[in-house]
Amino acid sequence: MFSTFFVNLCIMITFMYVSGIIAKFYSIRVPFPSIRVQLIGGILFGIYGTVLMNYSFSINESTIVDLRHLAIITAAVYLGGMASFISGVVISILRVVIFGLSSSAIDAAFVMVLIGLAGVYFSYASWSRLTKILTMNLFSMALIFIILLMNTTSINEFMKIYPVQLTISFIGGIFIYFIAEFINKSNELLFTLERRASTDHLTSLNNRLQFEKSLKFQLEYAREHQKRLSLLVIDIDRFKRVNDTFGHTSGDAVLKQLGQLLIEHARPVDIVSRNGGEEFAILLVDCDQQQALAVAERIRKAVEKYLFSLPDGNTTRLTVSIGVAVFPDNCDDKDDDDFFEQADRGLYEAKNTGRNRVCVMKKRSLPLPVQHRL
Protein backbone atom coordinates (compact mmCIF):
# COMPACT_ATOMS: atom_id res chain seq x y z
CA MET A 1 0.00 0.00 0.00
CA PHE A 2 2.71 2.48 0.99
CA SER A 3 4.73 1.55 -2.09
CA THR A 4 1.71 2.21 -4.33
CA PHE A 5 1.30 5.75 -3.00
CA PHE A 6 5.06 6.27 -3.26
CA VAL A 7 4.89 5.30 -6.96
CA ASN A 8 2.08 7.86 -7.35
CA LEU A 9 4.34 10.50 -5.87
CA CYS A 10 7.29 9.57 -8.11
CA ILE A 11 5.06 9.69 -11.19
CA MET A 12 3.74 13.13 -10.22
CA ILE A 13 7.28 14.45 -9.70
CA THR A 14 8.25 13.12 -13.14
CA PHE A 15 5.21 14.85 -14.64
CA MET A 16 6.27 18.10 -13.00
CA TYR A 17 9.71 17.82 -14.57
CA VAL A 18 8.22 17.15 -18.02
CA SER A 19 5.80 20.05 -17.57
CA GLY A 20 8.72 22.31 -16.65
CA ILE A 21 10.40 21.48 -19.96
CA ILE A 22 7.17 22.16 -21.88
CA ALA A 23 6.63 25.40 -19.94
CA LYS A 24 9.77 26.90 -21.52
CA PHE A 25 7.83 27.29 -24.77
CA TYR A 26 4.80 29.01 -23.23
CA SER A 27 4.16 32.30 -21.47
CA ILE A 28 3.65 31.29 -17.82
CA ARG A 29 5.51 34.25 -16.32
CA VAL A 30 2.36 36.22 -15.62
CA PRO A 31 -0.07 35.87 -12.67
CA PHE A 32 -2.76 34.46 -14.95
CA PRO A 33 -1.53 32.66 -18.09
CA SER A 34 -3.43 32.94 -21.35
CA ILE A 35 -6.57 30.90 -22.06
CA ARG A 36 -4.60 28.78 -24.53
CA VAL A 37 -1.94 27.94 -21.93
CA GLN A 38 -4.59 27.11 -19.32
CA LEU A 39 -6.48 24.94 -21.80
CA ILE A 40 -3.38 22.96 -22.78
CA GLY A 41 -2.22 22.76 -19.16
CA GLY A 42 -5.64 21.63 -17.94
CA ILE A 43 -5.77 18.79 -20.45
CA LEU A 44 -2.16 17.83 -19.70
CA PHE A 45 -2.70 17.67 -15.94
CA GLY A 46 -5.98 15.83 -16.51
CA ILE A 47 -3.99 13.16 -18.34
CA TYR A 48 -1.43 13.15 -15.50
CA GLY A 49 -4.21 12.49 -12.99
CA THR A 50 -5.58 9.71 -15.17
CA VAL A 51 -2.18 8.01 -15.33
CA LEU A 52 -2.06 8.10 -11.54
CA MET A 53 -5.32 6.13 -11.48
CA ASN A 54 -3.53 3.24 -13.15
CA TYR A 55 -1.28 3.03 -10.09
CA SER A 56 -4.12 3.06 -7.57
CA PHE A 57 -4.88 0.98 -4.51
CA SER A 58 -8.20 -0.87 -4.43
CA ILE A 59 -10.45 -0.79 -1.38
CA ASN A 60 -13.03 -3.02 -3.05
CA GLU A 61 -14.06 -4.06 -6.55
CA SER A 62 -15.30 -0.59 -7.53
CA THR A 63 -13.44 1.82 -5.23
CA ILE A 64 -9.83 2.92 -5.74
CA VAL A 65 -7.63 5.47 -4.00
CA ASP A 66 -4.65 7.36 -5.40
CA LEU A 67 -3.18 10.89 -5.61
CA ARG A 68 -4.94 12.09 -8.77
CA HIS A 69 -6.26 15.18 -6.94
CA LEU A 70 -2.69 16.52 -6.73
CA ALA A 71 -2.75 17.03 -10.51
CA ILE A 72 -5.80 19.29 -10.15
CA ILE A 73 -4.22 21.18 -7.24
CA THR A 74 -1.04 21.80 -9.22
CA ALA A 75 -3.02 23.04 -12.22
CA ALA A 76 -5.00 25.43 -10.00
CA VAL A 77 -1.99 26.89 -8.19
CA TYR A 78 0.42 27.22 -11.12
CA LEU A 79 -1.84 27.71 -14.15
CA GLY A 80 -5.19 29.09 -13.01
CA GLY A 81 -8.84 28.34 -12.40
CA MET A 82 -9.68 27.29 -15.95
CA ALA A 83 -6.84 24.77 -15.99
CA SER A 84 -8.02 23.43 -12.63
CA PHE A 85 -11.59 22.92 -13.83
CA ILE A 86 -10.52 21.35 -17.14
CA SER A 87 -8.18 18.90 -15.43
CA GLY A 88 -10.98 17.90 -13.04
CA VAL A 89 -13.38 17.28 -15.93
CA VAL A 90 -10.79 15.28 -17.91
CA ILE A 91 -10.00 13.06 -14.92
CA SER A 92 -13.72 12.54 -14.24
CA ILE A 93 -14.51 11.51 -17.81
CA LEU A 94 -11.54 9.19 -18.13
CA ARG A 95 -12.30 7.63 -14.71
CA VAL A 96 -15.64 6.41 -16.08
CA VAL A 97 -14.27 5.50 -19.53
CA ILE A 98 -11.34 3.43 -18.23
CA PHE A 99 -12.81 1.82 -15.12
CA GLY A 100 -16.44 1.60 -16.12
CA LEU A 101 -19.66 3.22 -14.94
CA SER A 102 -20.62 2.55 -11.33
CA SER A 103 -21.97 4.47 -8.36
CA SER A 104 -18.48 4.87 -6.91
CA ALA A 105 -17.14 6.04 -10.29
CA ILE A 106 -19.87 8.67 -10.47
CA ASP A 107 -19.13 9.78 -6.91
CA ALA A 108 -15.40 9.97 -7.67
CA ALA A 109 -16.05 11.92 -10.87
CA PHE A 110 -18.25 14.35 -8.97
CA VAL A 111 -15.52 14.92 -6.38
CA MET A 112 -12.87 15.59 -9.04
CA VAL A 113 -15.09 18.18 -10.74
CA LEU A 114 -15.82 19.75 -7.36
CA ILE A 115 -12.09 19.96 -6.58
CA GLY A 116 -11.56 21.49 -10.02
CA LEU A 117 -14.22 24.13 -9.31
CA ALA A 118 -12.70 24.82 -5.90
CA GLY A 119 -9.42 25.40 -7.71
CA VAL A 120 -11.01 28.39 -9.46
CA TYR A 121 -11.43 30.06 -6.05
CA PHE A 122 -8.02 29.01 -4.74
CA SER A 123 -6.25 30.25 -7.88
CA TYR A 124 -7.50 33.80 -7.20
CA ALA A 125 -6.84 33.72 -3.45
CA SER A 126 -4.14 36.16 -2.32
CA TRP A 127 -2.15 33.48 -0.49
CA SER A 128 1.29 32.07 -1.04
CA ARG A 129 1.50 29.08 -3.35
CA LEU A 130 2.46 26.75 -0.51
CA THR A 131 -0.56 27.88 1.52
CA LYS A 132 -2.81 27.28 -1.48
CA ILE A 133 -1.43 23.78 -2.00
CA LEU A 134 -1.80 22.80 1.67
CA THR A 135 -5.29 24.30 2.02
CA MET A 136 -6.58 22.84 -1.23
CA ASN A 137 -5.02 19.50 -0.34
CA LEU A 138 -6.86 19.53 3.00
CA PHE A 139 -10.13 20.42 1.26
CA SER A 140 -9.63 17.66 -1.33
CA MET A 141 -8.79 15.00 1.23
CA ALA A 142 -11.88 15.94 3.26
CA LEU A 143 -14.09 15.38 0.19
CA ILE A 144 -12.28 12.14 -0.62
CA PHE A 145 -12.79 10.98 2.97
CA ILE A 146 -16.55 11.47 2.66
CA ILE A 147 -16.79 9.70 -0.71
CA LEU A 148 -14.60 6.77 0.36
CA LEU A 149 -16.61 6.39 3.55
CA MET A 150 -19.80 6.24 1.48
CA ASN A 151 -18.40 3.57 -0.84
CA THR A 152 -16.75 1.16 1.60
CA THR A 153 -18.31 -1.52 3.76
CA SER A 154 -15.22 -2.21 5.82
CA ILE A 155 -14.40 0.69 8.12
CA ASN A 156 -11.36 -1.11 9.50
CA GLU A 157 -9.89 -1.56 6.01
CA PHE A 158 -10.71 2.03 5.14
CA MET A 159 -9.01 3.39 8.28
CA LYS A 160 -5.87 1.46 7.41
CA ILE A 161 -5.68 3.07 3.98
CA TYR A 162 -6.88 6.63 4.46
CA PRO A 163 -4.23 7.81 7.00
CA VAL A 164 -1.49 6.60 4.63
CA GLN A 165 -3.15 8.35 1.68
CA LEU A 166 -3.53 11.54 3.74
CA THR A 167 0.11 11.48 4.83
CA ILE A 168 1.54 10.79 1.38
CA SER A 169 -0.80 13.38 -0.13
CA PHE A 170 0.55 16.16 2.08
CA ILE A 171 4.16 15.01 1.65
CA GLY A 172 3.52 14.90 -2.11
CA GLY A 173 2.01 18.38 -2.09
CA ILE A 174 5.07 19.79 -0.36
CA PHE A 175 7.41 17.94 -2.75
CA ILE A 176 5.47 19.25 -5.74
CA TYR A 177 5.67 22.79 -4.36
CA PHE A 178 9.46 22.77 -4.04
CA ILE A 179 9.96 21.09 -7.41
CA ALA A 180 7.55 23.47 -9.16
CA GLU A 181 9.20 26.51 -7.55
CA PHE A 182 12.62 25.24 -8.62
CA ILE A 183 11.38 24.71 -12.19
CA ASN A 184 9.73 28.14 -12.23
CA LYS A 185 12.88 29.88 -11.05
CA SER A 186 15.04 27.95 -13.51
CA ASN A 187 12.74 28.85 -16.41
CA GLU A 188 12.60 32.46 -15.27
CA LEU A 189 16.39 32.62 -15.12
CA LEU A 190 16.63 31.10 -18.59
CA PHE A 191 14.11 33.62 -19.90
CA THR A 192 16.06 36.49 -18.32
CA LEU A 193 19.34 35.31 -19.83
CA GLU A 194 17.76 34.90 -23.26
CA ARG A 195 16.23 38.36 -23.01
CA ARG A 196 19.51 39.95 -21.94
CA ALA A 197 21.30 38.25 -24.82
CA SER A 198 18.93 39.83 -27.34
CA THR A 199 18.06 43.15 -25.65
CA ASP A 200 19.92 46.41 -25.29
CA HIS A 201 20.40 46.99 -21.56
CA LEU A 202 19.82 50.75 -21.75
CA THR A 203 16.81 51.17 -24.03
CA SER A 204 15.26 47.66 -23.80
CA LEU A 205 15.19 47.58 -27.60
CA ASN A 206 16.68 44.76 -29.64
CA ASN A 207 20.47 44.79 -29.58
CA ARG A 208 22.81 44.46 -32.56
CA LEU A 209 22.89 40.67 -32.39
CA GLN A 210 19.10 40.40 -32.39
CA PHE A 211 18.88 42.99 -35.18
CA GLU A 212 21.16 40.88 -37.37
CA LYS A 213 19.06 37.77 -36.69
CA SER A 214 15.85 39.65 -37.48
CA LEU A 215 17.39 41.15 -40.61
CA LYS A 216 18.41 37.73 -41.91
CA PHE A 217 15.02 36.20 -41.16
CA GLN A 218 13.04 39.07 -42.69
CA LEU A 219 15.18 39.07 -45.84
CA GLU A 220 14.59 35.36 -46.30
CA TYR A 221 10.86 35.86 -45.76
CA ALA A 222 10.76 38.77 -48.23
CA ARG A 223 12.52 36.69 -50.90
CA GLU A 224 10.32 33.66 -50.37
CA HIS A 225 7.03 35.59 -50.41
CA GLN A 226 8.12 38.31 -52.85
CA LYS A 227 7.52 41.06 -50.30
CA ARG A 228 9.25 44.39 -49.87
CA LEU A 229 11.31 45.05 -46.77
CA SER A 230 12.51 48.50 -45.77
CA LEU A 231 15.28 49.48 -43.41
CA LEU A 232 15.83 52.78 -41.58
CA VAL A 233 19.27 53.48 -40.13
CA ILE A 234 19.01 56.37 -37.67
CA ASP A 235 21.78 58.39 -36.06
CA ILE A 236 21.54 61.29 -33.60
CA ASP A 237 23.06 64.48 -34.99
CA ARG A 238 25.96 65.86 -32.94
CA PHE A 239 25.27 63.53 -30.03
CA LYS A 240 28.80 64.06 -28.70
CA ARG A 241 27.79 67.59 -27.71
CA VAL A 242 25.16 66.19 -25.35
CA ASN A 243 27.72 64.02 -23.55
CA ASP A 244 30.32 66.80 -23.48
CA THR A 245 27.88 69.46 -22.27
CA PHE A 246 25.59 67.57 -19.89
CA GLY A 247 27.50 64.35 -19.14
CA HIS A 248 27.11 60.71 -20.08
CA THR A 249 24.20 60.21 -17.68
CA SER A 250 22.23 62.77 -19.64
CA GLY A 251 23.30 61.07 -22.86
CA ASP A 252 21.88 57.81 -21.58
CA ALA A 253 18.61 59.55 -20.69
CA VAL A 254 18.39 60.91 -24.23
CA LEU A 255 18.98 57.46 -25.73
CA LYS A 256 16.22 55.95 -23.58
CA GLN A 257 13.73 58.62 -24.59
CA LEU A 258 14.65 58.34 -28.25
CA GLY A 259 14.11 54.59 -28.07
CA GLN A 260 10.57 55.18 -26.81
CA LEU A 261 9.94 57.77 -29.51
CA LEU A 262 10.97 55.31 -32.20
CA ILE A 263 8.60 52.65 -30.84
CA GLU A 264 5.73 55.15 -30.65
CA HIS A 265 6.16 56.42 -34.21
CA ALA A 266 7.03 53.12 -35.91
CA ARG A 267 4.29 50.68 -36.87
CA PRO A 268 3.34 47.92 -34.42
CA VAL A 269 4.80 45.23 -36.70
CA ASP A 270 8.13 47.01 -37.17
CA ILE A 271 11.32 45.83 -35.43
CA VAL A 272 13.20 48.58 -33.56
CA SER A 273 16.83 48.07 -32.49
CA ARG A 274 19.72 49.97 -31.00
CA ASN A 275 22.81 48.94 -32.90
CA GLY A 276 25.30 50.67 -30.64
CA GLY A 277 26.17 54.17 -29.46
CA GLU A 278 23.70 56.65 -30.90
CA GLU A 279 22.77 54.49 -33.90
CA PHE A 280 19.35 52.87 -34.17
CA ALA A 281 17.67 50.79 -36.86
CA ILE A 282 14.08 49.93 -37.76
CA LEU A 283 13.03 47.05 -40.00
CA LEU A 284 9.78 47.90 -41.75
CA VAL A 285 8.04 44.64 -42.63
CA ASP A 286 6.12 44.46 -45.93
CA CYS A 287 6.78 48.14 -46.59
CA ASP A 288 7.58 49.84 -49.91
CA GLN A 289 9.71 52.94 -50.44
CA GLN A 290 6.87 55.44 -50.25
CA GLN A 291 5.67 54.05 -46.93
CA ALA A 292 9.22 53.82 -45.59
CA LEU A 293 9.94 57.46 -46.43
CA ALA A 294 6.67 58.48 -44.76
CA VAL A 295 7.59 56.61 -41.56
CA ALA A 296 11.13 58.03 -41.61
CA GLU A 297 9.86 61.57 -42.08
CA ARG A 298 7.33 61.11 -39.28
CA ILE A 299 10.13 60.01 -36.95
CA ARG A 300 12.42 62.86 -38.03
CA LYS A 301 9.74 65.48 -37.32
CA ALA A 302 8.79 63.89 -33.99
CA VAL A 303 12.40 63.96 -32.78
CA GLU A 304 12.88 67.53 -33.99
CA LYS A 305 9.85 68.71 -31.99
CA TYR A 306 10.54 66.64 -28.88
CA LEU A 307 11.95 68.25 -25.75
CA PHE A 308 14.33 65.74 -24.17
CA SER A 309 14.39 65.80 -20.35
CA LEU A 310 17.75 65.50 -18.61
CA PRO A 311 18.43 64.19 -15.07
CA ASP A 312 19.61 67.60 -13.83
CA GLY A 313 16.30 69.23 -14.77
CA ASN A 314 17.51 70.76 -18.02
CA THR A 315 15.99 70.02 -21.40
CA THR A 316 17.47 69.87 -24.87
CA ARG A 317 16.39 69.43 -28.45
CA LEU A 318 17.97 67.08 -30.96
CA THR A 319 17.68 66.03 -34.57
CA VAL A 320 18.35 62.76 -36.34
CA SER A 321 19.58 61.78 -39.78
CA ILE A 322 17.99 58.77 -41.43
CA GLY A 323 19.14 56.52 -44.25
CA VAL A 324 16.56 54.37 -46.04
CA ALA A 325 16.92 51.19 -48.10
CA VAL A 326 14.21 49.09 -49.68
CA PHE A 327 14.56 45.43 -50.60
CA PRO A 328 14.74 44.52 -53.43
CA ASP A 329 14.20 47.91 -55.11
CA ASN A 330 17.49 49.65 -54.40
CA CYS A 331 19.91 46.95 -53.35
CA ASP A 332 21.40 43.72 -54.64
CA ASP A 333 18.68 41.18 -53.85
CA LYS A 334 21.23 38.37 -53.64
CA ASP A 335 23.56 40.11 -51.20
CA ASP A 336 22.24 40.53 -47.62
CA ASP A 337 25.06 42.88 -46.67
CA ASP A 338 24.23 45.25 -49.53
CA PHE A 339 20.79 45.95 -48.04
CA PHE A 340 22.28 47.39 -44.85
CA GLU A 341 25.09 49.11 -46.76
CA GLN A 342 22.57 50.95 -48.92
CA ALA A 343 20.74 52.25 -45.84
CA ASP A 344 24.09 53.20 -44.30
CA ARG A 345 25.02 55.09 -47.50
CA GLY A 346 21.72 56.95 -47.22
CA LEU A 347 22.58 57.89 -43.63
CA TYR A 348 25.97 59.27 -44.62
CA GLU A 349 24.34 61.20 -47.45
CA ALA A 350 21.92 62.74 -44.95
CA LYS A 351 24.83 63.66 -42.67
CA ASN A 352 26.90 65.15 -45.49
CA THR A 353 24.06 67.22 -46.91
CA GLY A 354 23.13 69.09 -43.75
CA ARG A 355 21.78 66.54 -41.21
CA ASN A 356 18.20 66.40 -39.90
CA ARG A 357 16.98 64.79 -43.10
CA VAL A 358 15.97 61.51 -44.72
CA CYS A 359 17.90 60.10 -47.67
CA VAL A 360 17.42 57.02 -49.82
CA MET A 361 20.09 55.95 -52.28
CA LYS A 362 19.44 54.63 -55.74
CA LYS A 363 20.57 51.13 -56.52
CA ARG A 364 24.25 51.05 -57.32
CA SER A 365 25.02 50.03 -60.85
CA LEU A 366 26.83 46.73 -60.81
CA PRO A 367 30.00 46.38 -62.93
CA LEU A 368 29.47 44.66 -66.24
CA PRO A 369 31.19 41.33 -66.65
CA VAL A 370 34.46 41.48 -68.62
CA GLN A 371 34.16 39.89 -72.04
CA HIS A 372 37.25 38.05 -73.13
CA ARG A 373 38.07 37.68 -76.77
CA LEU A 374 38.49 34.21 -78.07
pLDDT in tens, 23-54: 665 544 445 678 888 898 899 999 988 988 87
Higher pLDDT, 58 or 282: 282
Is pTM beyond 0.75 here?
no
For the chain, what is the HEC assignment? CHHHHHHHHHHHHHHHHHHHHHHCCCCCCCCCCCHHHHHHHHHHHHHHHHHHHCCCEECCCCCEECCCHHHHHHHHHHCCHHHHHHHHHHHHHHHHHHHCCCHHHHHHHHHHHHHHHHHHHHHHCCCCHHHHHHHHHHHHHHHHHHHHHHCCCCHHHHHHHHHHHHHHHHHHHHHHHHHHHHHHHHHHHHHHHHHHHHECCCCCCECHHHHHHHHHHHHHHHHHHCCCEEEEEEEECCHHHHHHHHCHHHHHHHHHHHHHHHHHHCCCCCEEEEEECCEEEEEEECCCHHHHHHHHHHHHHHHHHCCEECCCCCEECCCEEEEEEEECCCCCCCCHHHHHHHHHHHHHHHHHCCCCCEEECCCCCCCCCCCCCC
**Residue 371, pLDDT score:** 36
Residue tagged active-site, from 212, 264, 278, 279: 278
Report whether pLDDT(62) > 50: yes
Residue 278 among the catalytic residues: yes
pLDDT band at 58 (very low <50, low <70, confident <90, very high): low
Q: pLDDT per residue over 117-173, tens digit each?
A: 999 999 999 999 999 999 999 999 999 898 888 877 777 777 777 888 888 889 888
Compute the mean pLDDT over every residue in the chain, rounded to the nearest whole number.
86
pLDDT band at 367 (very low <50, low <70, confident <90, very high): very low
* For residues 324-331, average pLDDT: 89
Higher pLDDT, 129 or 14: 129
pLDDT band at 300 (very low <50, low <70, confident <90, very high): very high
State percent of the chain over pLDDT 90. 54
Neighbours of 101 (CB within 10 A): 10
pLDDT band at 368 (very low <50, low <70, confident <90, very high): very low
**Residue 29, pLDDT score:** 46
Report whether pLDDT(91) > 90: yes
**Residue 373, pLDDT score:** 33
Report whether pLDDT(372) > 50: no
Q: pLDDT per residue over 204-260, tens digit each?
A: 999 999 999 999 999 999 999 999 999 999 999 999 999 999 999 999 999 999 999
